[in-house]
A and B are shown apart, each in its own frame.
Chain A
Amino acid sequence: MNHSIILPFLVFFPMLGGIIGYIIGRKNKNARDYWAMLVTLLTFGASLLLIGKEEVFQEAGICGLGLLFAGGGLQVILAVLTGAIWLITTIYSKEYFQQDRNRNRYYLFMLLTEGATMGIFLSADFFTTFIFFEIMSFTSFVMVMHDETKEAIRAAHTYLAVAVLGGLVTLMGLFMLYQKTGTLQMDLLQQFMAQQTDKSAFYGIGVLVFFGFAAKAGLFPLHIWLPNAYTLAPAPASALLSCLLTKTGVFGIMMITAKIFFHDAPWGNFMLILGMITMLMGAILALFSINLKRTLACSSMSQIGFMMVGIAMQGVLGEHNALAASGTLLHFINHSMLKLVLFLSAGVVFMNLHELDLNKIKGFGRDKLLLKVVFLMALLGIGGIPLWNGYVSKTLLHESIVEYIHILEEAGQSVFYMKTVEYLFLFAGGLTLAYMTKIFVAVFVEKNSHPLPVQKQGAYLNPVNKVILALCALALPVCGMLPHLTQDRISAVGVTFLGAHAPDHAVEYFAWVNLKGAVISLIVGAAVYFLFVRTVLMRENEDGETVYLDRWPAWLNLEEKVYRPLLLGVLPFIGGFFARLAGTLTDGFISLLRMAIFNSDNARVIPPEDKYFSAYTDGETDKTVYREGFARSLLMIGIGLAIAMLYILI
């Protein structure tokens, strides 16, 4: 077994660096910031060393079953992605957190989270995945909590509650999986499952394992934590959450689908339904939102729905899943790049205005050309416009659906269901464009007669961060314009891990067949924006300015109306009732006995008949009972016994 050094370094060095940084930070805050940058830079560098290698690291006995990391293909891509995004957000953080309290704490947990995230992405064993998954949930909780406003605390508590609940359900699933298969190593599981002819016994277990990852990925109906946590966390943390932490859930689901339910159609259909709901739900929530970061948060949810559709198609398509696999993988990566740019841009707005409400921040970006261009790049990318990177991955996902429709047609089966899926998919793509246009127009186009005072001293963004943002934004069209050079290569490295072969021929991204989908989405997007957003969700006030309206009905809130009352009210009440009943059973029985045996007179318990049958009295004589030598009598008994023992010995 090849014992790699890089793999444990990637996982444990950031953690160690975080602790060292904490100690440095107590003395010197600037040094701590640069130290954090150095740590993330070194981690990024180390992750680059993995490229083109197959490394394995195993340490038996840790936490019981031992750790197993493997670097190769997919894991390397994810590790490099993690390293890069963490480096960028850390550099960006220095400016963002300038005026904040508790920065030392943030940096500590931010670096701990990096190690844990690396641990998840590099794991080759569900046991290892789970360990780092739990660590990550707890360390990232502190990042969400950072601002400590009332809303942030509430959002963070929801985040943690969902994470703990999800973690425990997943753990239950892992218990059962391990019990049934005797291993949690992904490769061995794949071999084991390949030999099973009847997988029906595993679906229940699969759903349990899936639960925690789905909660982390923000899938419906476990998405409740996501919009609030993303919105209320500081921008660099939101970026990390959206780009990587939520993706650990997607990663887990990918692993379950590729390793346990490989080419399994029922499982694929299950994923498809959840994916579709999440995709549409996220998009609709994003459309209604009037908060910049909330829109981006719901958009993340929607995009994860897109990835889920890709994962689902891998299962449904079976042998022909190459397109779906690379589509999923590329959308995973593209979405991370896009959301990095978007959340950091939103962070710029917040840094300056300390506000995210569209009606208040309106017009902030009118005179900031760089920010406008950067944001526009990301808009075009996430909207799936040809020549930007989002288009490539969305096309692949779309193609995989179309491919399945062809297969169904050839087999002579009904294609109605899959046609619906296809149109909903394109519709969700249109919604993406609509809500992105909505926030872009609000922040960068519209005028605001009452601009908020700028809270930040100096330029709205310092030069270093301007360069970083510009570079990140530049990468988006570059990836989109040269898909064969960039995207195809990445997917070729990664897809074998998902059990797909590289497609027979390169996909013609810019052929009319493929462009058609984008055009449909574009038309839908324009229609929704002009016919719905501008008419229903906006109105003009007396001064002739547009006002964004919050039309989302308050009663349509799964968290406030269902989960919280149920989990914090009803269930504890029922459980508490039975627990109290059980808890007081014996005491109640004893009181009954006392009532039957003793007479109570003036709060003194008096034995009724037998004067030799005595009981300790309640009431005023309590102290004397004790003072008059309970301890001493015990001591005397002890001494007596000791003497007796000595006598016997001698």
Chain B
Amino acid sequence: MIIGFGISGVSVAKTLREQSNADITIVTSESRSFFSRPALMYVYLGKMRFQDILPMPSDYWEKNNIKVVLAAVEDIDSDKQQVVLDDGSVLFYDKLVIATGSVPRSLGLNEGNISGVQGFYSLQDLLLLQKSAKNIRHAAIIGGGLIGVELAEMFLSTGVSFTFWIREKWFGSNFLPEEEAQLVTNYLKSKKIDIRFEREITHFDANELGQVTSLHSQMGERVDTDYVCVCIGVKPNINCLENTNIHTNHGVIVDACLQTNIPSIYAAGDCVEYAEPSFGRKSVETLWYTGKRMGEYVGRNILLDQPQRYHQGIFFNSAKFFDLEYQIYGHVPVSPEENYGSVFWKHPQKDKSIRLVYDAVSNEFLGCCVLGIRFRQEICEKWIAEKWKITEVLPALPSANFDSEFSARFEMELLNIYNNKII
């Protein structure tokens, strides 16, 4: 039995079904259809319909004998191995996987009780936004993350006027090195968006109906706003575990085999707090790719008596800010540190950059991140795993390029920058 119908839960079910005929039940309170969460924005933009963002044909679940139950979990009784649902029914399990994902963080300004303030995360959030979008006079996006940019793109394309409130000095300076953060920031500014940096929201005003009317920042600004989207990140969704004996901290605590403190209960995805993260990795990683990897691992190992250790693999992630693509492989520190050397190239006119990071002492290649350019994952992972030296990586760089044919190439520039640095 799997709680959660996101990428982690689905990966568990798919992988498990490939090797076993076990009864599989998925419990979800969001939707009977498994949809791609990062694609919700495209439905709003009219680039795809809801049926287009379903990764599997809708009859997949029935064909593969996977039962999908639409209900919320009230309680998990690990002694009796049963789960109590909010419709009163009780389901029994042999093995349980918690893949409840994450929920948007709150500003802590009691915004849950003000109407017109929402997050953008779930299908319900999308429906709510679609319903309110027509009547918005001026919106606010709070939080400089990926979802914030997605919302900016959505509002811009539908002509909703808005202000983008960001806590940091540059957009993305909490997950991008400074040069990259500046590049993305300038790119966003070129879209003629009203972005306000280094702002923290102190409180909201609401009218007598409880509807938001304006917000205040720590700089003393007051901006009339009748719609607010709070997207300051997500945290593990562990509400349904509150009264159970499953150990939690920030997320569900799991061991090296993704098992919780109770032997027959596993966890995967955003809700997980991993006990032994490898070097440079966080214990809570709320990423699509991590969820998929964990889900596939649990699906393969849940029926084994001697499960293998879970390997986090080499870190990678990707994102898109409007039309600007971003990819990262391996370890790229946000702020410059003494032990790291870095080769950084930025296109003089266009929004493109490449950064290679290596160990300043051993010269080993540690990772790279690119903006406006695509790199080949297999090759980057190979260089990192096999501990190639930066001097070996640079001449081999053309093989990592994954841009479409006839694209301009910039490997020589990078090589020159490195050579000038050494001399």
Q: Do A and B come from one complex?
A: no
